[in-house]
Structure 1
Amino acid sequence: MTVRHSSAFDTAAHRAHRWVDQVAAGFPTADEVFVHRVVRAWLHLVRDELAVPAAARFASQLPELLRGTFYEGWKPEHVPYRSDPRTFSGRFAEAAGIRGKDVPEVLSVVTSRLDLLMSGSLVDKVLGTLPAELRDLLRGEAGDS
């Protein structure tokens, strides 16, 4: 009989799963595929709006597997992208596979749940580097466009 010990991969998967579960708690669904898709879209689109130092600072607190998701496909030489809120919303809806009218609520849930998971007000610090309109959209404070 082979005894299997918990590996670093198991630990990394458990940490990422715990974070996805925490984000899922903000939605009326436990659909992990949906939650991973919206988290991935949030990570990629916010990452592309940040300067390289802010992106690296943010990624440093993500669990290892979500950090890999964050950096997947990143082209640091092309950032910050600086979308206006309408463009950002459209890109997010497409990447997350959601309706445009649901974007503000979904962004707000992901932002608030990540804020609970990260230490030192990191989410606020990183969002503070973004234009006010985009920051407000991510926090769910944007007015109707």
Structure 2
Amino acid sequence: MPATGVDVWDKTLQTTNIWLDEIMERMGPDRHTAWHALGAVLRALRDRLPLELAAHLGAQLPLLVRGTYYDQWHVGGQTGLPRTLDDFFAVVELNLGNTRPMSSAEATAAVFRTLSNHVDRGQIRKVVAALPAPLRDFWLDCEAG
């Protein structure tokens, strides 16, 4: 029996739960934590990408995930983009807000791997290529293992 009776909502719930399950495999069995990690990393990534690429990535996300991706986005309002891995992790940590303490590096690795598993490979290549070298290398390491 469908969860909502509306195909598009049932599909996005199913897909989102698959993504959360993958994140939980790396971060532990807490769906709430996985959801917050997903949103925190996606928003940090979105703000690091050129506008057009950020929009193209957003279009690849499940509808429900797309909502957290675009939450609090102020187009053109980004300054001081993180260039180092530690700077990126600091942004993720800030985006995590009032969730239980977790490693921003672990959250980032889990989300990057999930994105690599589910988003069009060509789109992922463009996203990774747009990142500064330390973050790009971290993503590629996440994909490898």
Aligned length: 135
Q: TM-score, normalization: structure 2?
A: 0.78
Q: Percent identity?
A: 24
Deviation at 1:51, TM superposition (A): 0.9
Deviation at 1:94, TM superposition (A): 3.4
Unmatched 5+ stretches in structure 1: none
What residue is the counterpart of 1:133 in the other structure? 134
What residue is the counterpart of 1:117 in the other structure? 118
What residue is the counterpart of 2:72 in the other structure? 73
What residue is the counterpart of 2:36 in the other structure? 37
Deviations 1:73-131 (A, max 9, x none): 111112475213222222212333545xx333332222112101112242232021111
Q: How big is the alpha-carbon RMSD for the aligned residues of Structure 1 and Structure 2?
A: 2.4
Answer whether contact 1:107 1:139 (CA < 8 A) is retained. no
What residue is the counterpart of 1:95 in the other structure? 95
Answer whether contact 1:24 1:32 (CA < 8 A) is retained. yes
Find the aligned partners of 1:72 and 1:15 in 2 and give their Cα distance. 19
Deviation at 1:139, TM superposition (A): 4.4
Unmatched 5+ stretches in structure 2: none
Which stretch of the first structure deviates more once superposed, 119-128 or 5-14?
5-14
More helix by share: 2
What residue is the counterpart of 1:55 in the other structure? 54
Is the partner of 2:60 in helix, strand or coil? Answer: coil
Find the aligned partners of 1:70 and 1:34 in 2 and give their Cα distance. 16
Q: Is it true that 1:22 corresponds to 2:19 in the alignment? A: no
